[in-house]
Amino acid sequence: MTDLIILNAHILTMVPDHPRAEAIAITGQRISAIGKTADIQALAQAQTKVIDANGRTVLPGFIDSHVHLFQGSAELDFLPVGGLMDLAEVRQKVLDYANARPEEPLILGVGAFYDLFVGQDTSPCRLLDSILPDQPFALLAADLHTVWANTSALRAAGLLHGADMPEGSTVVMGDDGLANGVLLETGAFGPVLALSRTGGRDMLGYVTGDDPDPAATAAEREADKALLLKGIDHVAAHGITTLHNMDGNFYQLELLSELEAEGQLNVRVQVPMHLKNYDPLERLQEAAEMHEQYNGDKVWSGRVKMFMDGVLESRTALKSRAYPDTPDTQGEAVFDPDHFNEACRIADAMGLQISVHAVGDLAVSRVLDGYEYARKHNGKRDARHRIEHIEVISEADIDRMKALNVVASMQPRHAAFAGFFEPPQPNTVLYDDECARSYAWRTLRDQGIPLAFSTDWPVVPVDVMTNIQCAVAPVDLGLNWPDQSQTLMETLDSYTAVNAWLAFREKHHGCLKTGLAADLVMLDGNIATHAPNDLSKLPIALTICDGAITYGGDEASGGIYW
């Protein structure tokens, strides 16, 4: 029995031998036929739902290969301040939000830009006190690597007088001996975010990798599942059918598996084990247990996530030379090299995939050292180990990535030339000669290095079409910045087939071929004729995951049903 047919479509299959089609049939959870409209229409039966695409583009469901689902879901309910460049703009939003929520334990603004505090003579703590003095209040940076907190929040979190921190995390202290409100990296700001209405459960997979302790109550679990469902609906509305989470713990795997058992999980999710720099290597056994217990089609593990450094904006990204405007720092190394190398060896020997956050060129180099160390001890295998972000890379390490078969996992909207974040001023976080090796999508692709694209939601919105536009039509920043633009088909491939391959799922989903999972998205127009600079305005009309419509339908798709 054919359940659903889409006719008269501009189908991009992402199958090299058969890249185009006009119609597709779905039976149950699988693609049962794909080809010409006349042939597929003949498969329709009385009970078959038939959609006339009327020339719209259909392609495999988008795979966002770097997200933080729990945090992104939680941020949908917090106060958005992204894009605001002045604390005066933030003030009224905060006051309105706080007045409407008198019982809120922490007023948390999310998506904050560093520009809010640039050039200020007063400490961030005092600046936030002037907005909201008597209630815990904090701003979470868009990149998830810095929190600015007021005095009340610092006191409630036990950080006002400083605290011992794991390597790579810092409670910045003022001249008065008190915390000045700047909390760098997860070990420092985790206690503040734990004050929020979620109790920090949404952040545990990111901050520590631990599960809630004590165990979440039944009511808290149901609240967290409801929160996840909100986020899942949000990503489905953007044409996404699969997520690779970049933080994880058993708790998230349990919640997602419960949602799947209840028939409510409308997206596929991979959840890794997050190994922290202070974790004993024996803890990698948890990653093996996650892999053994969770290996289904919709919820699975099989990967270890680590951090090697921070971010450029806070000067915590690890670079091979000091920052131009901060000559006393090269950034922060999160892991000791020997500890990291051994972690890579053990995880690789277990057959697990590894993904590591590395922004600065020295961080990228140290990750490659770890992957090389693992290969030397364990032998060469099809590991598909990943480096996340790669915002600066050396020429030598481009060659090493190729030699080690390492995947570049990058986010178009992060780039200086994406038009989302303000590009850095000359000689602040980058030297002029580093620009050519920054956000080097084209350079890496031309070297034959597999290139995966993603959003890093909630660091940037999970809007895939805007990210595609950023890759296809980046902003010209001038002489020091070479053109790193991608073709449309390269970009779509990096959001579909490449990302399925990256997770060892290329025989299950990621392209449109008979027998594969029925994961697809219909755009509300023909992407091939849409102006590159206008792709962000091309809406999602329909999302189908595992054969079920997860977004859109009769009205949204404009479909005609027989």
CB of 494 closer than 8 Å to CB of 452: yes
What would the 3-class secondary structure string for 49-87 be?
EEEECCCCEEEECEEEEEECHHHHHHHCCCEECCCCCCH
Radius of gyration of the chain (CA): 23
Instruction: Give the DSSP H or E segment for 23.
Output: strand 23-27
Q: Which segments of 420-499 are extended strands (E)?
A: 451-453
CB of 201 closer than 8 Å to CB of 194: no
Spatial neighbors of 417 by CB under 8 A, at least 6 apart, are 423, 439, 474, 475, 476, 477, 481, 484
Among 469, 515, 472, 519, CA closest to 497: 519
Quote the CA–CA distance of 230 and 143 in Å, as a whole number: 22
Sign of torsion, CA 333 203 96 131?
negative
pLDDT at 163 over 90: yes
Q: Which residues pair with 84 in a beta bridge?
A: none
* φ/ψ (deg, to 5) at 420: -100, -65
Among 147, 154, 149, 138, CA closest to 169: 147
State the average pLDDT for the chain: 94
| Of the candidate ranges 64-68, 95-99, 164-168, the one whose mean pLDDT is the lowest | 164-168
What would the 3-class secondary structure string for 85-154 be?
CCHHHHHHHHHHHHHHCCCCCCEEEEEECHHHHCCCCCCHHHHHHCCCCCCCEEEEECCCCEEEECHHHH
What pLDDT is stored for residue 206 in this prediction?
80
Among 190, 192, 191, CA closest to 247: 190
Residue 235 CB-density burial (10 A; 0-12 exposed, 13-18 middle, 19+ buried)? buried
Q: pLDDT class for 421, splitting at 50, 70, 90?
A: confident
Q: Give every strand in the sheet of 23-27, ordered side by side.
A: 30-35, 23-27, 4-7, 49-52
What pLDDT is stored for residue 166 in this prediction?
87
pLDDT tens readout for residues 529-547: 999 999 999 999 999 999 9
Cα dist from 304 to 226, 250, 273, 352, 371, whole Å: 27, 13, 5, 7, 13
What pLDDT is stored for residue 422 in this prediction?
87
pLDDT tens readout for residues 486-521: 999 999 999 999 999 999 999 999 999 999 999 999
Spatial neighbors of 191 by CB under 8 A, at least 6 apart, are 157, 158, 159, 163
- In degrees, to the nearest 5, what angle opens at C-alpha 381 toward C-alphas 376 and 385? 85
81-106: average pLDDT: 92
pLDDT at 55 over 60: yes
Would residue 471 be called left, alpha or beta, if left means φ above 0 and alpha means ψ between -120 and 50 degrees? Answer: alpha
pLDDT at 414 over 50: yes
Q: pLDDT class for 562, splitting at 50, 70, 90?
A: very low
What pLDDT is stored for residue 215 in this prediction?
66
Domains along the sequence of the chain with CATH: 4-61+512-557 (2.30.40.10), 79-195 (3.10.310.70), 278-294+302-455+466-502 (3.20.20.140)
Would residue 35 be called left, alpha or beta, if left means φ above 0 and alpha means ψ between -120 and 50 degrees? Answer: left
For the chain, report the end-to-end CA distance as a whole number of angstroms. Answer: 16
pTM here is 0.91
- State the angle between helix axes of 250-261 and 284-293 in degrees (0 to 180), rounded to the nearest 10: 10
Residue 86 CB-density burial (10 A; 0-12 exposed, 13-18 middle, 19+ buried)? exposed
What pLDDT is stored for residue 378 in this prediction?
98
pLDDT at 557 over 70: no
Quote the CA–CA distance of 42 and 25 in Å, as a whole number: 10
Query: Cα dihedral angle (507, 61, 110, 227), rounded to 10 degrees?
Result: -80
More confident call, 373 vs 1: 373
Q: pLDDT class for 553, splitting at 50, 70, 90?
A: confident
pLDDT at 327 over 80: yes
Would residue 8 be called left, alpha or beta, if left means φ above 0 and alpha means ψ between -120 and 50 degrees? Answer: left
CB of 334 closer than 8 Å to CB of 309: yes
pLDDT at 280 over 60: yes
Percentage of the chain lying above the pLDDT 90 cut: 88
Quote the CA–CA distance of 180 and 56 in Å, as a whole number: 54
More confident call, 206 vs 549: 549
pLDDT at 559 over 60: no
Sign of torsion, CA 282 283 287 292?
positive
pLDDT tens readout for residues 119-134: 898 999 999 999 999 9
pLDDT tens readout for residues 205-255: 787 788 887 667 888 899 999 999 999 999 999 999 999 999 999 999 999
